[in-house]
Structure 1
Amino acid sequence: MRTFSKNGTLLGALGLTFALAVTGCGKAETGESDSGSGEGGDQPLNIVFLPKNLGNPYFDASDAGGKAAVEALGGTFSEVGPQTASPDAQVQYINTAAQQKASAIVISANDPKAVGSALTQARDGGTKIVTFDSDTEPQYRDLFINQASPEGIAKAQIDGIAEQIGDEGEIAILSASANATNQNAWIALMETELKNHPNIKLVDTVYGNDDDQTSFDKTAALLQTHPDLKGIISPTTVGIAAAARYLSTSKAKGEVALTGLGTPNQMRSFIEDGTVTEFYLWNPTDLGTLAAYAAAALAKGEIEGKEGDTFTAGELGEYTVGANGEVLLGEPTGFTKENIGDFDF
């Protein structure tokens, strides 16, 4: 197994598990808001999380981390969002949060530009904007909380599939939506990384739109279209689980390798039955926690989002804002049959 975390603690703090995510999301809850404050210290802290879509286990976990952090700060947490991830689906939720004078909106953008006008209006009204997981164009937000370096994510997945297929053969990518900035950045870097593997050929890239059934159907179509396919990379938690579900009951099980980004709880059975050998991820709960603390620091005026600004994210420790307003959580970790039992999210 290859481990890509920096210091072995990236996937720590697992007291905020997926079980908390299931019980913690789906509605706004209020803490002791008199101890939270907006910029200048005279406004209650009110942070809205806006994932790509609701009902996604990955965002359930990340939003649970955000909820716990906001409540620890004495603020009010809300989770809102569309049922389906699409470019324009998030705009109405941004507008509503801005009208309600939210201290900050924490958003994983379905499109780098489609939400730009709404976010600009929200910022003009005093709401701080933090993107996480999937960024907008930089002018539309104050900070971007990046889950891991794009280069590290791309290399982990290419190295993983190369090892599993003997470093030769045809592979395909099952992505989320065609407009997702994080997916497209990773795919571009994976294509570059493939130059180090001349005997591997990327034959197709398809999009499941972070929908389980669509991703399931796209997996079936890939195998029908490319009968010599040796492996699939799915850099999305919905996509990899749907692809694994298809492979687990098909003749391709054990013949077509699958890797990508997934959570241990959703992929556990597929690791145990041999459908998947290894996949990767960071801790999504920690990602939500970090995003919430960053949003609160902005809302309170403790930081401005400039390079060199520092803030503390609870038990995660101190973070520094990098170039282009980016804050990096860490690097991904590989999950296999040997270590997956150690994680619960």
Structure 2
Amino acid sequence: MRTAPARRIAAAVAVVSVVALGTAACGGTTKKSGADGSSAPAAAPTASADPSASVKKGLTIAYLPKAVNNPYFTISDGGGKKVVEAAGSTYKEVGTSSGTDTAGQVSYVNTLTQQQVDAIAVSAQDPGALCTALNQARKNGVKVVTYDSDTKAGCRDVFVSQAGSEDLGRTEVQLIAQQIGNKGQIAILSAAQTATNQNTWIGFMKDELKKPEYKDIQLVKVAYGNDDAQQSFQQTQGLLQQYPNLKGIISPTTVGIKAAAQYLSGSKYKGKVRLTGLGTPNDMRAYVTDGTVQSFELWDPAKLGALAAHTAIALASGQISGAPGQTYTAGDMGSFTIGQDSTVVLGKPTGFDKSNIGQYDF
């Protein structure tokens, strides 16, 4: 790693003090904190950047997923690792084993700031809990990219979104509606209650359900499995016990949909209660083959992780600052333009069913 300027060393000392305070970074207010406990936003991205600047080598790019033992993040972060190492830089991954340990994520951000990494790619467990730590990192020259799940817009440089949030939320409803004949009770099996991406998608699902064509569909409950296989399995069981007339479940989380499919496949509800959501082909192939699941969708998580890496490198190299309207090249993935709220969208999700699931391996 490169030798840091004196000002960054001095700033890092301040971060050590933050860590020493234990939970102060999690919820307490500081001299520069807002009323909600988050720090005052770092400066908004400006148009100051050099798109013709060469890609820097020898950078250190750190990935901080929601949970390091989640197969989805193993795939996505693996995609990032390939890009980082091919660019002549150092990749590292850190994180907790729980998808709800926000204090743990804060601690890792503080540690990475002390280590003076060049960029952090983080999938936020909570939209606001990381703000103080992330803005401290940014003040110390660390570029911050969120991917998969965003934090507040003022707490990062760019958000790499897997797909348009509205498209995802609405297509999930469309899929389940087709499968249950536009009639009956449905439930949603989400991840954590604080997950930014999940809540955004669910908001669009609820809005889609207001349309006249879905007047005979009733959303009876949103359950939370916390991206834990056992909890998601138990939540599925609980939903079916509580709502014996349930016709369908939407699970917009790879852990949740797999756990729900596992329960349904061995129960009397197989083929009777429809399940859709977001899953990986490798996780869901057996359940599509045996008729437990008709169809579901997802983007390629490896490409999401790769785009996060390209974005982090472009930021650290000075090619972009994160300002809307800036364009950069992401290797063989092509060029991307930063949109509103400094967001970059990977692309539309892919639908999977018996006709095409055998063509994919991730």
Per-residue Cα deviation, 1:225-261 (whole angstroms, up to 9, x for no partner): 0011000000000000000000000000011000000
d(CA) in 1 for partners of 2:97 and 2:315? 29
**Match of residue 224, structure 1, among 237, 241, 249:** 241
Give the letter aligned to residue 122 of structure 2. I
Contact 1:156 1:280 in 2 (8 A): no
Which residue of structure 2 lines up, in the alignment, with residue 137 of structure 1? Answer: 152
By how many angstroms is 1:89 displaced?
Answer: 2.5
- Write the deviation string for residues 55-82 of structure 1: whole angstroms up to 9, x where unpaired: 1111111101100000111000001110
SS at 2:126's partner residue? coil
Structure 2, unaligned runs of 5 or more = 1-52
Identify the residue that residue 45 of structure 1 maps to in structure 2.
Answer: 59
Residue number in structure 1 paired with 2:227: 210
Match for residue 262 of structure 1?
Answer: 279
The equivalent position to 1:309 in structure 2, one of 313, 316, 326, is: 326
Aligned pairs for 1:155-194 within 5 A: 155-194=170-209
Q: Residues 14-163 of structure 1 correspond to what in structure 2 (within 5 A)? A: 44-86=58-100, 87-163=102-178
Change (3 A) 1:43 1:285: closer
Write the distance in 1 (CA, Å) between the matches of 2:57 and 2:345: 28
Residue 12 of structure 1 corresponds to none
Change (3 A) 1:293 1:43: closer
Letter of the structure 2 residue corresponding to residue 172 of structure 1: A
Q: Choose the corresponding residue for 1:200, options 208, 211, 217.
A: 217
Shift of 1:283: 0.6
Shift of 1:161: 0.3
- Asked if the contact 2:186/2:220 (under 8 Å) is kept, the reply is yes
Aligned-residue CA RMSD in angstroms? 1.2
For 1:117 and 1:315, the matched residues in 2 are separated by 35
Which of 310, 320, 341 aligns to 2:337? It is 320
Which letter maps to 1:101?
A: Q
Q: CA deviation at 1:321?
A: 0.6
Aligned counterparts of 1:268 and 1:40: Cα–Cα separation in 2: 43
Aligned position for 1:330: 347
Aligned equivalents of 1:47 and 1:190: distance in 2? 35
Partner of 1:342: 359
Equivalent-residue separation in structure 2 for 1:116 and 1:309 (angstroms): 24
Whole-angstrom CA distance in 2 between matches of 1:119 and 1:43: 23
Q: CA deviation at 1:47?
A: 0.2
TM-score normalised over the length of structure 1: 0.87
Query: Matches of 1:88 and 1:212 in 2, distance apart?
Result: 21
Deviation at 1:40, TM superposition (A): 9.7
AA aligned opposite 1:336 = D
Q: CA deviation at 1:44?
A: 2.5
Task: Letter of the 2:120 partner, please give it.
Answer: I
Residue 41 of structure 1 deviates from its aligned partner by: 7.9
CA distance in 1, matches of 2:262, 2:105: 29
Letter in 1 for 2:80: G
Q: 4+ residue runs of structure 1 moved beyond 6 angstroms?
A: 39-43
Q: TM-score, normalised by structure 2?
A: 0.83
In 1, Cα distance between equivalents of 2:122 and 2:302: 15
Q: Which residue of 2 aligns with 1:13?
A: none
Question: Match for 1:237 among 254, 257, 282?
Answer: 254
Give CA-to-partner distance per residue, 1:142-190, whole Å, 9 cap, x none.
0000110011101211010001001000000000000000000000100
Aligned CA distance change for structure 1 residues 42 and 59 (closer, same or farther; 3 Å): closer
